[in-house]
Amino acid sequence: MNIRRFKIVCKGKNAPSGTKIAVTADLHHRPWGETTEQLRGLKPDIICAPGDIMQETDHFSIRECFNQVGFNFLAECRKIAPVFYSQGNHERGMTDENRRILADAGILYLDNTWIQHGELTIGGLSSGYTSGIPKQKNTPPPDVSVVRKFAMQNGFRLLLCHHPEYWPAYIRETDIELTLSGHAHGGQWQIPFTDQGIYAPGQQLFPKYTSGIYENRLAVSRGMSNTVPVPRLFNPREILLLELV
């Protein structure tokens, strides 16, 4: 798994300087191999999973084989650092049983909620897809009231938001310090020596938000798996390691 490191300049914004955040997105219940050993070597203070670690959680328990791999990954991550996990479009309809299993494993699942963790206020903005198989060309909007309420919280606000297309539409206008996203899979094919992808769901052709850091406030992971028939090109799977400075 590729590791990309970025520094997020946050001085003067109640930031706990030196905090290291590992971003693990879009595993899609695929095998993760030595990834947790890589994470252990990074020594993150927290691990954030902004969606699509599993799939179809409204139909399958996370203890069933369909999602067991994703659950095991999060459980292993919890042995390394506190884990904060938010809903992606493939995790719509998370059942009460699944929530209980996550809680019993010490995994903090944030579904349009937030929690205080030291100097950080960590929230999870859930996908606008709430049930069924998505057929829409554009991503349904999130619960905008959650964004507004989260923006009113104290501390350094860190928002897990699976869809990067939500950021310019609903989050950018707030003063939320940092948003973590995935979903775009790096644009699937990337133009060499750039972060420009070719296509991303919700953003269509030549998407703007697919990979890296935008305006020092949005971090987008290329994701940890390849789940479509078209293979990645110039677009390695990755974990992000962000350091607040």
Q: What would the pLDDT profile of 150-159 be if each residue is shown by its tens digit?
A: 999 999 999 9
Tell me: the pLDDT tens digits for 72-110?
999 999 999 999 999 999 888 888 999 999 999 999 999
More confident site: 214 or 189: 214
Fold held by 2-244 = Purple Acid Phosphatase; chain A, domain 2 (3.60.21)
* Cα angle for residues 92, 94, 95 (degrees, 5° grid): 145
pTM metric for this prediction? 0.94
Q: What is the pLDDT of residues 223-232, one digit of tens each?
A: 999 877 778 8
Domain ranges of the chain: 2-244
Whole-angstrom CA distances from 89 to 79, 128, 187 are: 26, 7, 17
Query: 32 Cβ partners below 8 Å, 6+ apart?
Result: 1, 69, 73, 224
